[in-house]
Amino acid sequence: MDDAEPVQPSLNSSYIPTAHDNHQVSEDEDTEDQSPAASLLPKQSSVPLAVHYSPEDSYCLVYLIFFLMGIGSLLPWNFFITAKHYWHYKLSNNTHGGSGGEQRSDLSDYFESYLAISSTVPSVLCLILNYLLVNRLSPKVRILSSLFVILLVFVGTTVLVKVDVSGCRVEFFIGTLASVAVVSGASNLLSGSVFGISGHFPMRISQALISGQAMGGTLSAVASIADLALAKDVTDSALAYFLTADFFILLCIVMYLLLPKLPYSRHYMLAATCASPGVMSEGGAAAGTGSTASIPPLRPILKKTWVLGLSVFYVFCISIMVFPAVSSGILSVNKDSSSPWTTTYFVPLTAFLLYNIADFCGRQATAWLQVPGPTSRVLPLLVLCRSVIVPLFMLCNYQPRNHIHTVLFTHDVYPVVFNCLLGLSNGYLGTLPMIYGPKVVPRELAEATGVVMSFFLTLGLAVGSAFSVLIVHCI
C-alpha cells in the first residue's frame, strides 16, 4: 500500500484515503453512493477498492455528536426567542406585580421583531468572516471560541434574571439585543464551521447536524413550557430555563473535544486533508502548498450551487418573516376565558413547540426521502410556493392590530395548521439544498461550500427579519 501512487481527486470526486488495518466498508458509504447528490458524481473506476473502506461509526457516536452540535448551534437563539413571557415581564411597565400584573409597552410589543434583526444582521458579517478564515484558522479554533463566547453571554443572561431592571428597562432592552447579536454571530460562526467540516463526511452526518438544529428549537420550546408549568414565578422559571441552556453549551464543548479521538471522524478528517493539498485557484487548478492559507475560490462554488443557495435563502427568508414575530403574536380567539390553554399555553404550544416539532420532522424526513434532486427545477418552484404562508399568518388573530383589522381565520385550529405547515416545509425544503451543496462541488471545496450555504441561509434570515418588522407594523 505504501508503494502505490497517491490518488488525485478530480472534479466532484468522492475520494477517500486508503484504509488501513482493520477498516471495514461502512454502511453510510453505501448509502451515500445511492443518494441523489452522489448520482451526479462520476464513477472513479481508477480508484482502488481499498479507498472505499472506512471505520465504522461505533454506537453512532459521531452521528450523535454532530446531532448535538446542531442542537448547540441554534439552541442559544431559540432560547432567546422562546422566552417570550420572560422578556415581556422584564420589559413591561410593571414588573412588581408578578406575571399577572404585566402591562404591555412598546418595548415588549415589538421585541421579537427587533430581536430578529439584531440576531441575523451580525450573523451575515460573521459568516463572511468565517469564509475568509476557513483556510486561516482551524475549525477547532473557530468552533471552540464560538462556544466559549456563547457560554459567557448566557452566564451573564442567567445572572441578570434575578436583577430588578424596572428602573432601566431601555438599557436592559439594548443590552439584551447586544447579547443576542453577539450570541447569534458566534452561533453562526459555529454553525458554518461545523457544517463545513460535515461536508467531508457522508451525507448522513450533514443530515444529523441539520436535524439537531431543529431539535434545538424543540428542546427550547419544551423547556419553556415545562418551566411555565412548574415554576410559579416568572423569574424562577427563566432561571431554570437559562441554566438548561448553560448545561447544553457545556455539553457541546465536551463532546466536540471528544470528536477527534474517534476513529471514524479521524478517517474523514484525514480524507479532507489528503483531498485538499492546496486551495484551488479560480481557474480550477490546484494551487501549491503555499496557498493553503488563501481564501477559497468563490466562483466555482457559486457556479455549482447558486440555485441551491437561492433556494435556501428564500426558504428561511419566508420563515423568519412570520416566525416568531407574527406567529408568537397570534392569540387564542377565546383568550378571555379562564382556561390555561387559551391564556398561558396557547402561544408556547402553537407558535414554538408545534413549529419546532414540525421543523424537526421535515428535516428528519430528508434522511429517507431526498426528492426533488439537486438539479431539479421542482425544488425552487416548491420554495416559491411557500410565499402564500405570509398572508395566511397575517389574517389570523394577531394582536394588537392597528391597521389591518380583518381577521379571516377566526378559529384556533388555523394557527395550529399554519405553524405545522410552516415548520414542515421549512425543515424539508431548507435541508435538501443544505445537504446537496457540499456534495456537488469538488471535495477540496466542501468545507468552503458549507460556509457559503450557511451564508445564504443567514442572509435569508437577515432579509426576512427586516420584512418581519414591516409586517408587524403594517398589521
For the chain, what is the domain count?
Answer: 1
Residue 6: inside a domain? no
- Inside any domain, residue 35: no
Range of the domain at 467: 58-94+104-271+291-474
Tell me, yes or no, whether 120 lies in a domain: yes
- The continuous run of DSSP H or E covering 65 comes out as helix 61-82
Q: Are 193 and 146 in contact (CB under 8 A)?
A: yes
Backbone angles phi, psi at 330, to 5 degrees: -80, 115
Query: What is the pLDDT at residue 105?
Result: 62
In a domain, 112, yes or no: yes
Residue type, position 16, single letter? I
Task: Show Cβ contacts of residue 422 under 8 Å, excluding neighbours closer than 6 positions.
Answer: 319, 322, 323, 327, 355, 358, 389, 393
3-state secondary structure of 336: coil
Nearest to 194 by CA among 74, 366, 17, 59: 74
Per-residue confidence (pLDDT) for residue 87, from 0 to 100: 87
Element (H, E) at 185: helix 169-198
What pLDDT shows up at residue 82? 82
Q: How far is CA 190 from the centre of its chain?
A: 10
Distance CA 328, CA 84 (A): 8
- The enclosing domain of 407 has a CATH number of 1.20.1250.20
List, in sequence order, the alpha helices (H) in 285-408. 299-322, 340-343, 346-347, 355-365, 378-385, 389-394
pLDDT, tens only, 227-277: 778 777 888 888 888 998 899 999 999 999 999 899 888 888 776 666 554
User: What SS3 class is residue 175?
Assistant: helix
452 assigned to some structural domain: yes
Is the residue at 148 inside a domain? yes
Domain assignment of residue 232, yes or no: yes
Per-block mean pLDDT, blocks of 10 residues, the chain (475 long): 42 36 43 43 42 73 92 84 83 55 62 77 77 80 92 93 87 90 87 82 84 84 82 82 91 92 86 52 41 74 94 95 91 80 85 92 89 92 96 92 89 94 95 90 84 86 87 88
User: What is the b/e burial string over 152-169, where b = at least 16 CB atoms within 10 angstroms of the residue's CB?
Assistant: ebbeebbebbeeebeeeb
